[in-house]
Structure 1
Amino acid sequence: MSGPVTIGIELGGTKGIAVLARGRDIVERVRVPTTTPAETLGALLEQAARWAAAEAVAAIGLASFGPLRLDPARTGYGRIAATPKPGWADADVRGAFAGLGLPLGFDTDVNGAVLAEARWGAAQGCDTAAYMTVGTGIGVGLMAGGRPLHGLLHPEVGHLRVRRVEGDSFPGICPFHGDCLEGLAAGPAIAARAGAPASELDADHDAWGFVSDALAEAMAILLLTASPQRILIGGGVGAGVPHLLPRVRAATAAKLASYLDEVDAAALDRIIVPPALGDDAGPLGAVALALDAVGLA
């Protein structure tokens, strides 16, 4: 293992992971549950401080669930904006680590993941790519021109309102929008619809038809707007349910209805794929942000 030493912090909706990396190789990791901002950020900061005291750390990367305020010129930079996660609205996630005095790369967890997959994983060679996590929530990171996409905020595809299967009366569970994509297809939404967690549902359970259709709506929207060369689907549901991706691909092909000449069923097998970095896409996304913070990509 060689390369600069960095610290990566991936802050997710159910867990936070701190890693010490040399180059792209993770050499140590610590996992803590996501409870309150004080507890979770405090535990991650404590671990980062121990590593920084013992190693010549070049930079730290912070990849967090959102929505995040990412514009340094705007009020609230570094904080979480309105979020369904109780107690986390306005949490100063960036500020918690700024006191370490290290160069700090900061972005969403999914923007970090798509950057890592483009650098070391299944999106290598792609100029434009997307990473969707389907788990506790649904988030999408978008990379265009080789860089994570920012603007007024950042992509919030999980809260798009998608067309629904005719006759579907499930109200959705998003506290902001009800039946947005996250309210229909995230892990808690599946459990609310089916009465059991996704991991306990048979492959032929009716819920999967609704979930794959909603996700396919998002795939079609992404392909028709951002035109990604690769869409990686990760997360506890996205990567943890083997029969889901084939259903999503088939439903996506039907929704596109042969409109995109180069995006037929065979192409979708290559476009919509699991992350090659697996569960490490998130932590390595934080490492990629740290390397970028000091120009060591």
Structure 2
Amino acid sequence: MIAAVELGGTKVLAAIARDPLKPLRQIRISTDEPSATLRAVADFFDEAREELGQPEALGIASFGPIDIRPGSPGWGRMGRTTKPGWAGADVGGYLGRRLGSPVNLDTDVNGAALAEARWGAGRGLGSIAYLTVGTGIGGGIAINGEALHGAAHPEIGHVRIRRDPGDSYSSRCPYHEDCAEGLASGPAIMERFGKTLTELEPDHPFRSILADYLGQVCATLVLIASPQRIVIGGGVMTGGALHAGVEKAMLRWLNGYVETGPADGSPFIVPPGLGDQAGLAGGFALAQDLLEGGE
């Protein structure tokens, strides 16, 4: 029995399962202020384990930035997140204490990258990148079944992109004027137009600008990490039918310099094979890794 949490900027999914792709109990909670949100997750686990038993491990796939360094005094705590009220929140420590199970914690996008590599659109490939475009923009990379870590975790959503000449929007990100999250996230679109991307007209000119912005991010990923596939999920992508446009923009920015994609010629930029369960499946992948001796 293992437990999983996907903590996103808009919603939280929590579940208990034996088979990671078939949760026995699952709940969706809106992401509110930290204490109420984390307490609601812990209360769900209290009720679920009365029925199903104590989970052997908990995997948490969380939005960030968050301290994922084992042994760090700040492990499990949020960093300087753009999510109001969440800076410093003790995500890993609180949920671990309440559930009473060992915890493996990583970013939501690293978790989703692991899950997509193991069970989804990256299955059978040695390396994939996962991007989410929603409340924020984030990215994770899985290489040979392991998430990429360094001094901390990647913050792909904050790479600088070249602004479209006709885009005068100031930026949603309080740290950067021209990063992907600041210009292309869901809240940035809503601030510009008072509408979601899905609600914009099918021929609205911003659709091509957005595809170009995300294509720049993907081109950067190709040049730095050379993944065999890029998986893009998140609420903005759900209704936007943008994947083909993003790939076209990426190829334009790469300008023929490098080859991309799996050797069999299958699509390079694709939606998540696990759909909107990729992040939660990432939590289960982290719990599995903990039981199998991984960090």
Partner of 1:38: 35
Paired amino acid for 1:185: A
Would you say 1:153 and 2:152 are equivalent positions? yes
Matching of residues 207-286 of structure 1 within 5 Å: 207-242=206-241, 244-262=242-260, 267=265, 270-286=267-283
Conserved in 2, the CA contact under 8 Å of 1:190 and 1:207? Answer: no
Give the C-alpha shift of residue 177 in structure 1: 0.9
The one-letter amino acid of 1:176's match is: Y
Output the CA distance in 1 between the equivalents of 2:96 and 2:104.
10
Partner of 2:142: 143
Of 10, 14, 17, the residue aligned with 1:18 is 14
Displacement of 1:154 in angstroms is: 0.4
- Answer yes or no: is 1:169 the counterpart of 2:165: no
Which moved further from structure 2: 21-30 or 39-48? Answer: 21-30
1:72 positional shift: 2.1
The 8 Å contact of residues 190 and 211 in structure 1, kept in 2 or not, is answered as no
Amino acid at match of 2:93: G
What secondary structure, in the 3-state scheme, does the structure 1 residue paired with 2:36 have? helix
1:189 aligns with 2:188: yes
Residue 216 of structure 2 contacts residue 250 of structure 2 at CA under 8 Å; is this kept in 1? yes
* Cα contact 1:216–1:251 (8 A) shared by 2: yes
Identical-pair percentage: 47
One-letter amino acid of the counterpart of residue 34, structure 1: T
State the Cα deviation string for residues 89-120 of structure 1 (Å, max 9, x = none): 01000011121321211111111111111111
Residues 229 and 261 of structure 2 are in contact (CA less than 8 Å); yes or no, is this contact kept in structure 1? no
* Counterpart residue type for residue 283 of structure 2: A
Query: SS in structure 2 opposite 1:105?
Result: strand
The AA in structure 1 aligned to 2:62 is S
**2:76 aligned residue (78, 81, 89):** 78
**2:91 equivalent among 82, 90, 93:** 93
TM-score, structure 1 length as denominator? 0.93
What is the CA–CA distance in structure 1 between the aligned matches of 2:96 and 2:46, rounded to whole Å? 11
- Cα RMSD for the two superposed structures: 1.8
Q: Does 1:29 align with 2:34?
A: no
Alignment of 1:95-114 (within 5 A): 95-99=93-97, 100-114=99-113
> SS of 2:177's equivalent?
coil
Shift of 1:229: 0.7
Deviation at 1:179, TM superposition (A): 2.5
TM-fit CA distance, 1:203:
2.1
- Structure 1 equivalent of residue 179 of structure 2: 180
Deviation of 1:261 (Å)? 3.6
Deviates more, 1:22-31 or 1:285-294: 22-31
Shift of 1:49: 2.2
Report the secondary structure of 2:24's partner residue: strand
3-state SS of the aligned residue for 1:132? strand
User: Offset at 1:48?
Assistant: 1.3
Aligned counterparts of 2:68 and 2:16: Cα–Cα separation in 1: 24
Quote how far apart the aligned CAs of 1:209 are: 1.8
The match for 1:292 is 289
Q: Indicate the residue corresponding to 1:131 in structure 2.
A: 130
**1:78 to 1:194, Cα distance in 2 relative to 1, 3 A:** same
Q: CA deviation at 1:56?
A: 4.2
* Deviations 1:33-92, CA, capped at 9 Å, x for gaps: 111111000000111122233314221111111001111233311101001101000100
AA matched with 2:79: A
**Aligned letter for 1:76?**
G
Relative to 1, partners in 2 of residues 1:261 and 1:279: Cα closer, same or farther, differing over 3 Å?
closer
- Residue 182 of structure 1 and its aligned partner are, at CA, apart by 0.4
